[in-house]
Chains A and B, each alone.
Chain A
Amino acid sequence: MINQSNKVLNNNITKLVNQTYQYGFSTNIEKEIIEKGLNTKTIHLISQKKKETPFLLNFRLKAYKKWKQMSEPNWAYLKFPEINYQDIIYYSAPKSQKKLKDLSEVDPELLKTFEKLGISLSEQKRLTNVAVDVVFDSVSIGTTFQEELSKHGVIFASISEAINDYPDLIEKYLGSVVPIGDNYFAALNSAVFTDGSFCYIPESTICPLDLSTYFRINDQKSGQFERTLIIAEKNSQVNYLEGCTAPQYDTNQLHAAVVELIALENANIKYSTVQNWYSGNEFGKGGVYNFVTKRGLCAGTNSKISWTQVETGSAITWKYPSCLLIGDKAQGEFYSVALTNNYQQADTGTKMIHMGKYTRSRIISKGISAAKSKNSYRGQVAVTNKAIGSRNYSQCDSLLIGNLSNANTFPFISVQNATSKIEHEASTSKIGEEQIFYFLQRGIGLEKAIELIISGFCKEIFTELPLEFAAEADKLLTLKLEGSVG
């Protein structure tokens, strides 16, 4: 009987989880692509198309050379077929020859696409207090509020624009936090990245708007390789949000992004992500392979970088937003909810490297695994001998739904001085039949019960998200799990 009731539980879980992916449509649009495959010719072509400086071409070629010598990392708890890097399109852009004067000139088909995704580019309907840059396949379509931001000296542009308009900043900072040969996917990104966002917050400025980038993969064969660079000067502050979706294809798309954050003295960067790439169907077919390198450099005294992520999509997630705490009293934070369902696999976590004195870091990770998915937390806390008086607190909680899902925690801790303090807590729980029965007995229906349990489990993370994002994230998790517990 227990087996039978577990079956009921699993069936219901499946139902709940298999809510159709509402962003799975694709847009039919005339596009310009560079023939699939990767070699130095491809790189020259990309660089040429983007009219880049020799610095950048050189940057790309060096990265390509490194990448050729490296091999795919295999230490993560992930299983996937070999990726054929010669079968990927590295550049795909909607055809639009001339430079746009303003967003009203954007192809209406594209505007419609983003409307459908809930991202309004038309200035009348724009989100209040959020400036948006949208990236479609390989290129940025447009950025809102640029003028208003520039009054405050804030630069918010696509990275392509920045490469042309602010070469000094690019040369100084690009690759300074994630070196080109940092890892296999970072090297690949450095060689072929096509677009992304660039933010620069000048000294003593609190960015008046939240900045946000929305990434959309549209083409079936193309990979998305975006690059984000955020620089917060002394005493400045910025909130940055990132969202992403992709159409539903039964092949896998590769997404390999690099995000670099630099916080100087007393600067504060808060970076939030709601990742909702297509995760494949209930049989594990299709979905985005998400290999992302995100790293923040707390360079100045008292600087602070805080990562918040809600990871719900992708067939595979390989992602460790990290902080290098170099300035004295620098602070790093990592708040994460990762939800996996069906055959999704996530290996995600963070690295907190303490190098400055009295640096502090805080890690709160919540993993939810349903159906046959695998969800792993992988984290590293390293305290060097110079980082006296440093502190770290880590908490990793896993929630299992059904009997076939899998949760793992791999924490690595190394401390090289005696004055530092490290705390690590971990828990694993299961949404059990008895918990659900308790709700039902009190007249609360199944779906509401699960919604409450999940949002209760994620509460600490959602409070870190900006308000609109928190509501969206809550809704997203419920949607993703609808019908999934019985």
Chain B
Amino acid sequence: MTLNLPILEIKNLEVSINENQILKKLNLTVEKGEIHAIMGPNGSGKSTFSKVLAGHPSYSIINGDIIFKGESILDLEPEERSHLGIFLAFQYPIEIPGVSNEDFLRLSYNSKQKFYNKPEVDPIEFLSIINEKLKLVNMSPAFLGRNVNEGFSGGEKKRNEILQMILLDSELCILDETDSGLDIDALKIISNGINKFMTPDKAIILITHYQRLLDYINPTYVHVMQNGKIIRTGSAELAKELEDKGYEWLEV
């Protein structure tokens, strides 16, 4: 009955870093086909949440569990979580000097192929795969020859994240403020890419500060996170209300 299992279940999750507790009894269930938007003021724990899902080694889990497709993933390494289908689009994608985007993307793709005992693709095969995906985010093939994120504009970095998400075709994608720092055209391109990527088998968690992304991507739920837990859950309407009234409105 795996079909009916939620893709992600977070149960009473408590997480700390440097003995500071960041997440406090966080609960969240994400089903296939759903898009969850998580909003909240700075420092509420949104980015921590995204990194913990991906297995960042700096955080320690004090309590609770993360169940991905029916199995706890707390003991899994970041790369295993990646292979199983968890993708994190970083808020600040890191630069890797001297490593070409093409090599990086192919290695990433082949690592997953290898994990599933599928044949690895050679550089020529890979080019035809990647060229297809490049179109989805309006990127020119010339960008494959550049070093990973090096000298990329803010918008290019974010588009590169979406490109990787599409390439790896992961089932659960967490987008950490992918919309921040984008102009309106880039926002449209990225939203378009995300919408094309989404299928009934997948789920997306959007972490965002602004309602404007939700004009292009229609969330199933909107959650408000504050002080390490979800304090309010609603429909897309909730985001609009927040835009008008600010987070303080919820604090009372």
Contact = CB atoms under 8 A, between A and B. Distances in A.
B175 to A, nearest CB: 13
B94 A444 contact: no
Interface residues of B, number: 35
B111 A443 contact: yes
Given A2-B58, A438-B96, A457-B97, A443 B79 contact: yes
A5 B51 CA distance: 14
A321 B90 CA distance: 44
B78 interface: yes
B78 A441 contact: yes
Interface string B63-86: 000000000000001110011000
Given A1-B59, A5-B57, A456-B96, A437 B111 contact: no
A437 B98 contact: no
A452 B57 contact: no
Contacts of A445: 79, 111
A458 B97 CA distance: 10
Contacts of B231: none
Contacts of B168: 442-443
Contacts of A434: 94
B156 interface: no
A386 interface: no
Given A5-B57, A452-B99, A443 B19 contact: no
B54 A448 contact: no
A437 B57 contact: yes
Contacts of A111: none
B89 to A, nearest CB: 10
B94 A8 contact: no
Contacts of B60: 1
Nearest to A432: B94
Given A2-B58, A5-B57, A456-B147, A441 B82 contact: yes
Given A437-B78, A438-B94, A456-B99, A443 B108 contact: yes
Interface in A422-476: 429, 433-435, 437-438, 440-446, 448, 452-453, 455-459
B113 to A, nearest CB: 10
Interface string A472-486: 000000000000001
Which label, helix, strand, loop or mixed, suits the secondary structure of the B interface?
A: mixed
A270 to B, nearest CB: 23
A442 to B, nearest CB: 4
A459 B98 contact: yes
Contacts of A452: 96, 99, 103-104, 107
Given A435-B96, A444-B79, A445-B79, A2 B104 contact: no
B58 A433 contact: yes
B82 A442 contact: yes
A440 B78 contact: yes
A433 B55 CA distance: 12
Contacts of A453: 96, 98-99
B208 interface: no
B128 interface: no
Interface string A151-172: 0000000000000000000000
Interface string B1-41: 00000000000000011110000000000000000000000
B93 A438 contact: yes
B41 to A, nearest CB: 23
B56 interface: yes
Nearest to A440: B78
User: Looking at A438, A443, A446, A456, which has the most chain B CB atoms within 10 Å of its CB?
Assistant: A443
A441 B88 contact: yes
Nearest to A458: B98
Contacts of A429: 97
B108 A442 contact: yes
B223 interface: no
A448 B88 CA distance: 20
Given A437-B56, A442-B108, A452-B103, A457 B98 contact: yes
B18 A1 contact: yes
B54 to A, nearest CB: 5
A444 B77 CA distance: 11
A310 B56 CA distance: 34
Given A1-B60, A452-B103, A441 B54 contact: yes
A438 B147 contact: no
Contacts of A435: 94, 96
Nearest to B59: A1
B95 to A, nearest CB: 8
Given A448-B107, A455-B98, A438 B82 contact: no
A1 B88 contact: no
B112 interface: yes
A456 B98 contact: yes
Point out which of B55, B79, B83, B90 has the most chain A C-beta atoms below 10 A from its C-beta.
B79
B148 to A, nearest CB: 8
A429 B98 CA distance: 13
Given A452-B99, A456-B96, A1 B78 contact: no
A457 B95 CA distance: 12
Contacts of A457: 97-98
B216 interface: no
B108 A444 contact: yes
B164 interface: yes
A435 B87 CA distance: 16
Q: Which 6 A-B pairs have the closest CB atoms?
A: A456-B98, A440-B78, A456-B99, A443-B111, A443-B82, A442-B108
Interface of B: 16-19, 54-60, 77-79, 82-83, 87-88, 90, 93-94, 96-99, 103-104, 107-108, 111-112, 115, 147, 164, 168
22 contacts: A1-B19, A1-B59, A433-B58, A435-B96, A437-B54, A438-B94, A441-B55, A441-B90, A442-B104, A443-B79, A443-B82, A444-B107, A444-B108, A448-B107, A452-B96, A452-B99, A453-B99, A456-B96, A456-B97, A456-B147, A457-B97, A457-B98
Interface of A: 1-2, 5, 8, 429, 433-435, 437-438, 440-446, 448, 452-453, 455-459, 486
Given A452-B104, A452-B107, 10 more contacts: A1-B17, A438-B96, A440-B82, A441-B54, A441-B55, A441-B82, A443-B115, A452-B99, A453-B96, A456-B99
